[in-house]
């Protein structure tokens, strides 16, 4: 697997796959989607992709569960506009080339009307381009900057935080409450780089001191080789721009050496699975960001209803990645209802733009100009030895979505982050 999940490689694979499909299946100059058989009569078909193998597999499984819940809830009410929803999913293996093949399968073989999923920002960029060339709505479940700059597309929608928004939320809190001297461990692919850009920009705005960064390949299991450089820098805050098994390994190894007591650990994005696996080491010295945490049930009636339904079916609280899939699935079906059509993709896309809803937190919306979900970001602090069951962390802040997104004009130019020069 390409650890960097490089965007150029993914796009190259996409172009090759598309060209081959056009040449072999249809002949020159004819997009394959124009001859795709129409969907089964009386059915709306949704296809999704998830990393069910690899370092993010637990989060991918959560996406599957929550998407299933959303589809079953709609079907229990009679489906959408008199049609049942049929849902199929595939394992994208957290691999760009595999994901593009799966996307092609979902459209060409499964005859899906719209597609969603993935847990890699780099993969979402390639699938977004693929879906847009075929005029098919695509709902990204992951943190993705596919709604920025030249990657913006009429048919692509991002339902988790833009990476820079997560970085702005966590960094502002960290610089105000924890310290301004910081060092970062960054997953060495596009998503990690985007988080680092956000931290570096915020650092400049707030007069913080950036002490350095180390890039760790996706799937790293031994982080000890980086610790000498980190200890020499003596940061007040160590930033984790990674996720899943990588983040779990890093925090465990830091704790074993007593380093979590010497500095605050801030995970730009964390997960309940990580907190639970890390155990006692994920204590009050470790903080993480989430777009959703089940503790919100005590604040929002919508959260309580959603959590109760999910736990009844699956026996444990939902991760933020699953919550994103639940919201994305609901929103496109709500848009179909609003547009009064399940076949006119132009009307469905238009109905999603500016759509207001309340599903799992407070009121939210899909911003029309760049197709991103405007939502809050939650910061949690670990309970360590005080954790019981799934009561793993305390919510320390909920940052309003409107305060951590740039203007439509800036997002169209990918500013100000395009001006950030990342360390080598």
Question: Where do the domains of the chain lie?
Answer: 7-161+304-374, 164-290+376-419
Cβ-based neighbour number of residue 260 at 10 Å: 23
Tell me which residues of the chain have a pLDDT lower than 50: 1-39
pLDDT of residue 40: 55
277 within 8 A of 392, measured Cβ to Cβ: no
pLDDT of residue 41: 67
Calpha distance 69→41 (Å, rounded): 23
271 within 8 A of 321, measured Cβ to Cβ: yes
Helix (H) or strand (E) holding 338: helix 320-339
If DSSP codes are grouped into helix, strand and coil, which group holds residue 48? strand
What does DSSP say about strands 364-366 and 373-374: parallel, antiparallel, or unpaired?
antiparallel
Roughly what angle, to the nearest 10 degrees, separates helices 244-256 and 224-233? 60
pLDDT of residue 2: 40
218 within 8 A of 246, measured Cβ to Cβ: yes
Residue 265 preceded by cis peptide, ω within 30: no
Cβ-based neighbour number of residue 37 at 10 Å: 8
Could you write out the DSSP letters of every residue in 101-121? HHHHHHHHTS--SEEEE-S-H
Which whole-number Å values give the CA distances from 10 to 14, 48, 243, in the listed order? 6, 18, 21
| Identical topology for domains 7-161+304-374 and 164-290+376-419 | yes
Residue identified by tokens 């370092």 is 55
Q: Place domain 164-290+376-419 in its CATH homologous superfamily.
A: Response regulator (3.40.50.2300)
Going by CATH, does the domain composed of 7-161+304-374 fall within 3.40.50.970?
no
pLDDT in tens, 148-181: 999 999 999 999 999 999 999 999 999 999 999 9
Check residue 361 and report its DSSP letter.
Answer: S
pTM, 2 dp = 0.88
Cβ-based neighbour number of residue 34 at 10 Å: 9
Calpha distance 316→298 (Å, rounded): 16
């Amino acid at each position: 697997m390409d650890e960097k999940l490089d965007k150029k490689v993914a796009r190259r694979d996409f172009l090759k796959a598309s060209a081959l499909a056009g040449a072999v299946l249809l002949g020159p100059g004819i997009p394959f989607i124009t001859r795709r058989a129409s969907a089964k009569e009386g059915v709306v078909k949704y296809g999704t992709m998830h990393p069910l193998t690899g370092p993010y597999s637990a989060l991918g499984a959560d996406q599957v569960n929550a998407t299933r819940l959303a589809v079953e809830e709609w079907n229990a009410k009679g489906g959408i506009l008199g049609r049942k929803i049929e849902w199929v999913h595939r394992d994208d293996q957290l691999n760009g080339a595999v994901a593009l093949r799966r996307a092609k399968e979902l459209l060409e073989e499964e005859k899906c009307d719209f597609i969603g999923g993935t847990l890699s920002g780099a993969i979402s960029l390639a699938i977004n381009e693929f879906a847009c060339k075929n005029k098919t709505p695509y709902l990204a479940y992951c943190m993705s900057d596919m709604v920025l700059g030249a990657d913006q597309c009429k048919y692509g929608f991002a339902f988790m935080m833009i990476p820079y928004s997560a970085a702005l939320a966590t960094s502002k809190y960290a610089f105000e409450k924890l310290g301004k001297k910081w060092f970062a461990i960054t997953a060495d692919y596009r998503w990690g780089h985007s988080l680092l850009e956000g931290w570096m920009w915020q650092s400049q705005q707030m007069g913080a001191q950036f002490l350095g960064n180390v890039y760790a390949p996706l799937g790293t299991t031994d982080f000890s080789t980086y610790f000498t450089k980190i200890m020499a820098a003596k940061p007040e805050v160590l930033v984790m721009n990674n996720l899943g098994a990588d983040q779990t390994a890093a925090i465990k190894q830091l704790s074993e050496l007593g380093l979590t007591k010497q500095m605050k650990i801030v995970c730009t994005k964390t997960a309940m699975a990580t907190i639970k696996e890390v155990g006692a080491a994920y204590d009050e010295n470790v903080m993480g960001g989430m777009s959703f945490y089940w503790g919100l049930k005590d604040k929002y009636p919508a959260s309580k209803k959603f959590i109760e339904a999910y736990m009844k079916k699956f026996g444990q609280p939902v991760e933020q990645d699953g919550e994103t899939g639940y919201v994305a699935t609901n929103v496109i079906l709500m848009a179909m209802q609003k547009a009064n059509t399940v076949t006119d993709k132009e009307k469905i896309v238009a109905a999603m733009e500016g759509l207001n809803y309340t599903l799992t937190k407070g009121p939210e919306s899909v911003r029309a100009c760049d197709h991103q979900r405007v939502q809050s970001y939650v910061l949690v602090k670990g309970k360590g030895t005080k954790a019981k069951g799934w009561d793993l962390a305390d919510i320390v802040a909920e940052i309003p979505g409107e305060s951590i997104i740039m203007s439509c004009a800036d997002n169209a130019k990918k500013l100000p982050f395009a001006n950030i020069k990342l360390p080598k």
